[in-house]
Chains A and B, each alone.
Chain A
């Protein structure tokens, strides 16, 4: 419907403002632009409205100025009419919504069917109901669309269940509230003809694996009520939308990929910050370049969004931009931060301000990557590669809605991944975007949902659910006292509600709440998920909300609460973590020369011993603090490399050098692996140790590699009787979500990529863009960290 909504309250900059800014950047900073792409404007492809369309609906469209459809909207209609499951994967703002709204509304009007709409977040669901109601009112169609989420009051739920034609919800509600109470929804299920799933691309990894299982449960309940709804998916442009949709529902899905919507000129620049210390290969920070570009755009009158990769970076950049644009507290703010963890009311207010055009600069995490309606923007600046090609396009798509020209700038950080990309723009421009992957049969996730499904309806002998042996799983649950087998059925008999204990967003459990206790208050400021908590909410940590710093006074680990107090600290904090790994089981081994790559299961302990205090602007390290937290344990899969001890000793006789070589090699390998796996950095972890958990290597406070024992005590490398360093890349989720097996298959390729990365880096002794940060003076050492890493990688490559 995007083509029909007039711009509201937005004073758009003149179209040539974007072109002028591009020209100016090219003229002033030619050395920083390493790649440039212009996607020329495209004209609209129209098709007539389908002949059988309900007259009321045609009238409603006409009332909103729609007399014909874009070609992909008509193609979607035709696929749906054939009774097929469908995925629409056209660019942002191409009118995807109408692709599913049209057939659904038509069926509701002509056949009285019901539809379930799912959005990954509540905010998107609310946007959607507003959209449906607008169309509904255009011709008084009388279709009832309701949201059903955690905010729906108890007395309204009955009406939603019995009177809603279209219920708009999210997967979490389907999982925790609808399916376990399906009898209350019996009437709705009996008429259910469509399940609409928007933002398909966000259903990957852990979340996607969970949702695939929620859909297994949904289809099972639908069979109970004698219906088989059609699934209609909408996705951002990813490489495998149909495959992902098919993985989610376990059935064939037709794809519509070609957009018939018009688009304005789109400029994309790849930006590498200038080298400021040639000896160390140090570049200016991406942050400084990003703020400069954002300032330039705002001063040209262009509405700009800045994407940062972490919540912390959002707060830091917001502060810097506010220091420029929002110095006068009496005037409404021109700069706004937006990220997960803010309270819903705060986010809604921010969205509203953005839609109304009252904000010139938005600084966001991936939270705004999804289709939250924030109105039209001209420029998107990405502070660092978001980790996936799809996320990059999605974020860039935030600029240039409708026919206006737009500019996207990807600013590289010193991360090897970013440096690799800006040095290989063709990879970025030519690559088919990422393949979103899910692993619905991940054991813990699958078992969670078998439990939920058994609660919803008894399993029968001979039934199947997922790729594992169902009878074995049911037997396990019986032995846990949850099920009883009788008369060929497996009955739930426990006094519990299993969906309550299963979060779709994690394999672990339990979010942390941040509570402000300034001046005796007790106010909930934010929520932090379990995995992020140890690294952000330790006692002494500076936690920022809208760039206002709070200090964590007390962390109640068991109660999942962090108590914070407003502070005026002129620094922020950054946690240090150590990881120790032990190999449990080796599935496979592949020798390469004097080394070998292996794949198997590992047990991992992560410890947060302390944190650094870093001063704003100067980014000096101004102190350390201790962290007292329980060790975080993880059982997962990993790929690892080892070299024969004699070969290693022959190559790098100094064990200190060998350790640094391994750490540098791990750094390079981790980054190229993420690129190959089309995963994000945090999806994989890296570690160097002996594989038995007796020692592991880490960078010490002095910047040198050092060995630590099981209790984090220093260990002298020379004292070890055997010395067999092992380099691990592990899947960073309990049980793994299927990332490490493909890495093992491509192990040789990965090592070669890493070698290329290090060899192609112009730095003399090693730098953050290849083997990690090095110390001043390292370039005069006999064996530089870079050379050590190259030696190790060469050995692992089998040279």
Chain B
């Protein structure tokens, strides 16, 4: 079966031929690439191998120390009084406690440890494809410490240093009690697990509680914002605009430029980007805590926040969110509020809301009000009048028939 004699020549040339490019006269001993070229259409990019990475220079540019060959760490202390955009970071721990407490279901695993174990985490990767071929080349961690904040960034500067890099970040992540990320549940955490597994180690974050703020932002703001990227949240909630930021999508290329050509500037820009991500992530806790208390204060979708609380088994929070401004609520939110009033026995308030909605022939309100008149007011005639306005269907027929029967019995009774 071997085609010895088949497709001779260097690999490059053979592939070129297979790729179906314009046929050319083959050389006597062609390169592999030329073989490929002949086989296949399209051109293979031939990268130049210029420049050699200078780790010392990189460390200096970043203000980082060299933990091991190919592993850099940059550490920065921030004062308690530090601000990020419009947010005072001093308020973050309190806000975070509020977000992470109670029925916050984004948490998984063990109960939230004490605040010393809380870490904000963000990674920079060689791409978004996932799988074992995607690297984490930078890990940023921000954590509260006694007198403020500690921000550490680990950088993988050589491919063959990953074992040492993984070792270093395992130490950093060990003892974490709660991880806070932006889209980390589906991206950063699985990728970290992959890298740890490839290095033959256990995942230090396995079983650690995880609060993904993207989920919270999405729930409250997806109905009102065009997108829920971190940059959008920064602008809308933190009053923070990055000047001269390197877009996250450019990070893989920046790392490649360093590996291949020793370019430092793009990698320094990635470190700055990652630092901003971490600070924004932490600061975001403050307006988010406000949002889940009082959505209108941040322009969030009120009914979405209320529905969230309700789904988490906290109707009192849902009520608190809605009761503040019934007049500004959209019909679904008003229905929700009316129902919360009903559950609390606040019939007058409930009827007022239903009454407004019934004017628009809102079926759910018609039904609720019909039930109210039937069961609480014992007024089947009023209930029937409402039920007749329900959209046609079996449910309407059943309800009307039952009410008519009731009415019939009632009128048949002696006065």
Q: Which chain A residues have a beta carbon within 8 Å of chain B's beta carbons?
A: 180-184, 186, 247, 437-439, 441, 443-444, 447, 454-457, 467-469, 472-473, 475-476, 478-481, 484, 486-489, 491-498, 582, 584-585, 587-588, 599, 601, 603, 633-635, 637, 734-736, 738, 740-741
B187 CB to nearest chain A CB (Å): 14
- Is A180 in contact with B133, judged by CB distance below 8 angstroms? yes
- Is A635 in contact with B32, judged by CB distance below 8 angstroms? no
- Is A486 in contact with B159, judged by CB distance below 8 angstroms? yes
Chain B window 257-289, contacts with chain A (Cβ cutoff 8 Å), 1 for yes, 0 for no: 001100000000000000000000000000000
Chain A residue with the shortest CB-CB distance to B127: A495
11 pairs from A and B in contact (CB 8 Å cutoff): A180-B132, A444-B18, A457-B132, A472-B10, A475-B32, A481-B256, A489-B159, A603-B17, A734-B40, A735-B18, A741-B6
Contact of A635 among B8, B20, B47, B256 (CB under 8 A): B20
State in angstroms the CA–CA spacing of A469 and B128 once bound together.
31
Q: Which residue, B1, B20, B35, B36, has most C-beta atoms of chain A within 10 A?
A: B1
Contact of B259 among A247, A439, A493 (CB under 8 A): A493
- Is B129 in contact with A496, judged by CB distance below 8 angstroms? yes
State in angstroms the CA–CA spacing of A633 and B193 once bound together.
44
Interface residues of B in 1-44 (CB under 8 A from A): 1-12, 14-15, 17-20, 23, 25-26, 32-33, 35-36, 38-41, 44
Known interface pairs A180-B132, A601-B7; A738-B1 also in contact (CB < 8 Å): yes
Contact of B17 among A181, A184, A496, A635 (CB under 8 A): A635
A570 CB to nearest chain B CB (Å): 40
Chain B residue with the shortest CB-CB distance to A468: B11
Interface residues of B in 136-150 (CB under 8 A from A): none
- Is B197 in contact with A603, judged by CB distance below 8 angstroms? no
- Is B5 in contact with A741, judged by CB distance below 8 angstroms? yes
Contact of B7 among A487, A491, A735 (CB under 8 A): A735
Contact of A479 among B7, B17, B44, B127 (CB under 8 A): B44
State in angstroms the CA–CA spacing of A457 and B128 once bound together.
18
- Is B47 in contact with A495, judged by CB distance below 8 angstroms? no
- Is A734 in contact with B39, judged by CB distance below 8 angstroms? yes
Chain A residue with the shortest CB-CB distance to B69: A487
Quick check: is B291 within 8 A (CB to CB) of the other chain? no
Q: Which residues of A sit under 8 angstroms from B244, Cβ to Cβ?
A: none
Contact of B20 among A472, A484, A585, A634 (CB under 8 A): A634
Quick check: is B194 within 8 A (CB to CB) of the other chain? yes
Q: Which residue, A476, A491, A734, has most C-beta atoms of chain B within 10 A?
A: A476
Q: Which residues of B sit under 8 angstroms from A603, Cβ to Cβ?
A: 17, 20, 23
- Is B193 in contact with A439, judged by CB distance below 8 angstroms? no
Since A603-B17, A634-B20 are in contact, a sample of 18 more A-B pairs with Cβ atoms closer than 8 Å, ordered by chain A residue number, is A181-B132, A181-B194, A184-B190, A437-B1, A438-B1, A443-B11, A443-B36, A447-B36, A472-B11, A472-B32, A479-B47, A480-B45, A493-B256, A493-B259, A495-B126, A635-B23, A637-B7, A740-B6
Q: Which residues of B sit under 8 angstroms from A489, Cβ to Cβ?
A: 159-160
Known interface pairs A183-B193, A443-B7, A603-B23; A584-B17 also in contact (CB < 8 Å): yes
- Is A476 in contact with B33, judged by CB distance below 8 angstroms? yes
Contact of A443 among B39, B128, B259 (CB under 8 A): B39
Dominant SS among interface residues on chain A: mixed
Quick check: is B415 within 8 A (CB to CB) of the other chain? no
Q: Which residues of B sit under 8 angstroms from A492, Cβ to Cβ?
A: 133
B6 CB to nearest chain A CB (Å): 5
Known interface pairs A183-B194, A439-B1; A496-B20 also in contact (CB < 8 Å): no
Quick check: is B293 within 8 A (CB to CB) of the other chain? no
Chain B residue with the shortest CB-CB distance to A637: B6
- Is A584 in contact with B132, judged by CB distance below 8 angstroms? no
- Is A484 in contact with B11, judged by CB distance below 8 angstroms? no
Chain A residue with the shortest CB-CB distance to B4: A741
Q: Which residue, B7, B11, B194, has most C-beta atoms of chain A within 10 A?
A: B7
Q: Which residues of A sit under 8 angstroms from B18, Cβ to Cβ?
A: 443-444, 635, 734-735
State in angstroms the CA–CA spacing of A18 and B134 once bound together.
62
Q: Which chain B residues have a beta carbon within 8 Å of chain A's beta carbons?
A: 1-12, 14-15, 17-20, 23, 25-26, 32-33, 35-36, 38-41, 44-47, 126-135, 158-160, 190, 193-194, 197-198, 252, 256, 259-260
State in angstroms the CA–CA spacing of A582 and B8 once bound together.
17
Q: Which residue, B9, B32, B259, B260, has most C-beta atoms of chain A within 10 A?
A: B32
Contact of B198 among A183, A439, A443 (CB under 8 A): A183
Chain B residue with the shortest CB-CB distance to A439: B1
A569 CB to nearest chain B CB (Å): 35
Contact of B5 among A475, A498, A588, A634 (CB under 8 A): A588
- Is B41 in contact with A476, judged by CB distance below 8 angstroms? no
Q: Which residues of B sit under 8 angstroms from A599, Cβ to Cβ?
A: 5
Known interface pairs A183-B132, A584-B23, A635-B38; A443-B2 also in contact (CB < 8 Å): no
Q: Which residues of A sit under 8 angstroms from B20, Cβ to Cβ?
A: 603, 633-635, 734
Chain B residue with the shortest CB-CB distance to A475: B32
A671 CB to nearest chain B CB (Å): 22
State in angstroms the CA–CA spacing of A492 and B260 once bound together.
13
Contact of B3 among A438, A633, A734, A736 (CB under 8 A): A736
Q: Which residues of A sit under 8 angstroms from B5, Cβ to Cβ?
A: 587-588, 599, 741
State in angstroms the CA–CA spacing of A489 and B159 once bound together.
9
- Is A495 in contact with B252, judged by CB distance below 8 angstroms? yes
Contact of B41 among A473, A493, A584, A633 (CB under 8 A): A633
Q: Which residue, B32, B133, B158, has most C-beta atoms of chain A within 10 A?
A: B133
State in angstroms the CA–CA spacing of A493 and B20 once bound together.
27
State in angstroms the CA–CA spacing of A603 and B330 once bound together.
67
- Is A183 in contact with B197, judged by CB distance below 8 angstroms? yes
Q: Which residues of B sit under 8 angstroms from A494, Cβ to Cβ?
A: 126-127, 133
State in angstroms the CA–CA spacing of A494 and B134 once bound together.
8
State in angstroms the CA–CA spacing of A465 and B250 once bound together.
33
B384 CB to nearest chain A CB (Å): 43
Known interface pairs A585-B26, A635-B39; A455-B128 also in contact (CB < 8 Å): no
Contact of B131 among A180, A444, A633 (CB under 8 A): A180
Q: Which residues of A sit under 8 angstroms from B159, Cβ to Cβ?
A: 484, 486-487, 489, 491, 493
Known interface pairs A444-B15, A637-B7; A476-B44 also in contact (CB < 8 Å): yes
State in angstroms the CA–CA spacing of A612 and B132 once bound together.
51
State in angstroms the CA–CA spacing of A653 and B279 once bound together.
88
A640 CB to nearest chain B CB (Å): 14
Chain A residue with the shortest CB-CB distance to B24: A584
- Is B40 in contact with A467, judged by CB distance below 8 angstroms? no
Q: Which residues of A sit under 8 angstroms from B8, Cβ to Cβ?
A: 585, 587
B137 CB to nearest chain A CB (Å): 10
Q: Which residues of A sit under 8 angstroms from B36, Cβ to Cβ?
A: 443-444, 447, 476
B37 CB to nearest chain A CB (Å): 10
Known interface pairs A443-B39, A584-B23; A496-B127 also in contact (CB < 8 Å): yes
- Is B6 in contact with A736, judged by CB distance below 8 angstroms? yes
B10 CB to nearest chain A CB (Å): 8
State in angstroms the CA–CA spacing of A528 and B9 once bound together.
35
State in angstroms the CA–CA spacing of A186 and B39 once bound together.
37
Known interface pairs A603-B23, A734-B18; A495-B33 also in contact (CB < 8 Å): no
- Is B23 in contact with A182, judged by CB distance below 8 angstroms? no
State in angstroms the CA–CA spacing of A498 and B14 once bound together.
21
Q: Which residue, A488, A582, A588, A735, has most C-beta atoms of chain B within 10 A?
A: A735
B126 CB to nearest chain A CB (Å): 6
Q: Which residues of A sit under 8 angstroms from B133, Cβ to Cβ?
A: 180, 454-456, 492, 494, 497-498
A36 CB to nearest chain B CB (Å): 35
B20 CB to nearest chain A CB (Å): 4
Q: Which residues of A sit under 8 angstroms from B160, Cβ to Cβ?
A: 486-489, 491
State in angstroms the CA–CA spacing of A635 and B5 once bound together.
16
State in angstroms the CA–CA spacing of A680 and B355 once bound together.
76
State in angstroms the CA–CA spacing of A447 and B3 once bound together.
16
- Is A186 in contact with B19, judged by CB distance below 8 angstroms? no
Nearest 10 pairs between A and B by C-beta?
A495-B127, A487-B160, A455-B133, A183-B197, A497-B129, A180-B131, A603-B23, A735-B18, A492-B133, A491-B159
- Is A584 in contact with B26, judged by CB distance below 8 angstroms? yes
Chain A residue with the shortest CB-CB distance to B260: A484
State in angstroms the CA–CA spacing of A497 and B126 once bound together.
12
